[in-house]
Amino acid sequence: MTEKLELLEKHRSFDGTQLKYRHYSKILGCDMTFSLFLPNREKFEAPPLIWWLSGLTCTDDNFTHKAGAQKRAAELGLAMLMPDTSPRGNSVADDTDWDLGQGASFYVNATQSPWARNYQMYDYVVTELTKIAREEFGLTGPESIMGHSMGGHGALVIGLRNPGRFRSISTFAPIVNPTEVPWGVKAFNAYLGVDQESWSKWDATKLLAEHDGTQTPMLIDQGTGDSFYNSQLQPEKLADIATSKNSPLTLRMQDGYDHSYYFIASFIDEHLDFHQKYL
């Protein structure tokens, strides 16, 4: 058990610093890791913060190693915080399937056994890790949030459920309507139970439909070559609701791109530029 922050890695990167920490999460009841990129604090004393939420099977390392975001973040003076995607450890509930359990939290607060004991990822991000970012690193300024796939779902849900906190939201190939697609239905049945009424607050399309009309700017990039596009993602559902609600959402279809980090790396600078406009 790691009560205090334990520095695992520190790398100089594009005039900034890439860090990785371990700590014990009281909310999740296990040790957790997170990664943090800080721009040069002599140049950018109080940098805005962008959260990145990763997708199924990923850890905080996927984004830091593959997205290539550090160069542009350093230029713009942006801090980036990357949590892991779920609680982990021998005592944490898991499943033999890759799309449930460790690495597949869906960023919800689970209510069903055995998941409820540890799978409180929404509270972990919104409260516990937020407190660490503010108190340990002085990241008390404006925030935005972004993510990929399951993490895109998480970014949309956290952003929509906390109006006024995030200046902007962006996603790559997000699961926008998890209550209606196989990945989400499987996870929500396990984590939240069979009462589908309780699922609505974890579904971006339902949250946006219930809003009077959020004015938080949103950007979605979706590859047309993504094998999950039709069966699991369907971003047009959210875009249509945004249009009806007069909410500022831009959906960009990127020809031929798939679901991988090659896709993310191709457009990550544009997403950081998008957030910078509002930060």
CA dist 223 and 8 (Å) reads 34
pLDDT value of residue 212: 72
Strands of the 143-148 sheet, one edge to the other: 6-13, 16-25, 30-38, 79-83, 49-53, 143-148, 166-172, 218-223, 249-254
- Exposed, middle or buried: residue 123 (CB in 10 Å: 0-12, 13-18, 19+)? middle
Backbone angles phi, psi at 213, to 5 degrees: 135, 90
Q: Tell me if 45 is assigned to some domain.
A: yes
Residue 188 domain-assigned (yes or no): yes
At residue 211, the pLDDT reads: 81
Residue 70 confidence (pLDDT): 98
| 1 is a domain residue | no
User: How far is it, in rounded angstroms, from Cα 33 to Cα 24?
Assistant: 9
Q: Which residue type sits at 109?
A: N
The residues with which 11 forms a beta bridge, in sequence order, are 18
> What CATH number corresponds to the domain at position 198?
3.40.50.1820
The answer as to whether 161 is a domain residue is yes
What percent of the chain lies above the pLDDT cut of 90? 97
Task: Decide if 73 is inside a domain.
Answer: yes
Segment among 21-30, 132-141, 209-218, 265-274 with least mean pLDDT? 209-218
CA atoms of 121 and 269, how far apart (whole Å)? 27
Catalytic sites, residue numbers: 149, 226, 259
Angle value at C-alpha 235, between 230 and 240, nearest 5 degrees: 120
Backbone angles phi, psi at 249, to 5 degrees: -120, 130
Residue 213 has pLDDT above 90, yes or no: no
Gap between the Cα atoms of 5 and 95, Å rounded: 29
Q: Is the peptide bond before 114 cis (omega within 30 degrees of 0)?
A: yes
pLDDT band at 165 (very low <50, low <70, confident <90, very high): very high
Q: Hey, what are 271's tokens?
A: 């997403």
How many distinct structural domains can be found in the chain?
Answer: 1
- Cβ 93 vs Cβ 34: under 8 Å: no
Instruction: Tell me which residue has tokens 């959210």.
Output: 238
Q: What is the pLDDT of residues 227-269, one digit of tens each?
A: 999 999 999 999 999 999 999 999 999 999 999 999 999 999 9
- Here the tokens at position 270 are 């544009």
Phi-psi region of 66 (alpha: psi -120 to 50; beta: other; left: phi over 0): alpha
Question: What's the predicted TM-score (pTM) here?
Answer: 0.96
* pLDDT of amino acid 96: 96
- Rounded CA gap, 215 and 247, in Å? 5
Range of the domain at 39: 6-276
pLDDT in tens, 48-78: 999 999 999 999 999 999 999 999 999 999 9
Average of per-residue pLDDT across 94-121: 98
